[in-house]
Amino acid sequence: MTLNPNQERAVGVALRLLEERLARIEEVAGSDESGVLYRRVRPGWTDAERARFDAIAAELRATIASISETFHLAREDQDSAAEIAGLMRVTWENLAGIQARHLRAYGRVDPSLRDTLDPSIERLLALVSALEGIALGDRASPGETA
């Protein structure tokens, strides 16, 4: 059994994504988390449900390992700084979309929002850009301090 290079890449990507998602799911299932504007409580599973979850997760990992071994799939080193930078780029776009001028898409905009909301959003945008710069190894430009 062999895979051509394109098939190998496709199988590897799909399994890596599954493995990454499984790690995130286990993180979410294992702890409560909260911020100022959100709260996520771990599932209220019974001991039996948690045991079933753990067994399925273990079987998923074992099957991924088996396929990887069978087809000699290479482990991919991932660049965490690039991931952070990418997340900050998307976050910057989301924040830019809630400036007063963009909120018109949701209805009439109070004229005072430009003075009350936008300065805070602009500060958030600068901070997000600074984090992206750190992740990319750039130095913050003058005026771009966190």
45-72 pLDDT, tens digit each: 999 999 999 999 999 999 999 999 999 9
In this structure, the answer to whether residues 10 and 65 fall within a common structural domain is yes
Domain of 127? 80-136
Residue 141 belongs to a domain: no
The answer, yes or no, to whether residue 146 has pLDDT greater than 60, is no
- The pLDDT of residue 138 is 74
Residue 21 belongs to a domain: yes
pTM, full prediction: 0.77
- The pLDDT of residue 68 is 97
Q: CA torsion 40→41→46→48, rounded to 10°?
A: 40
Query: 131 and 123 in contact (C-beta within 8 Å)?
Result: no
Residue 111 belongs to a domain: yes
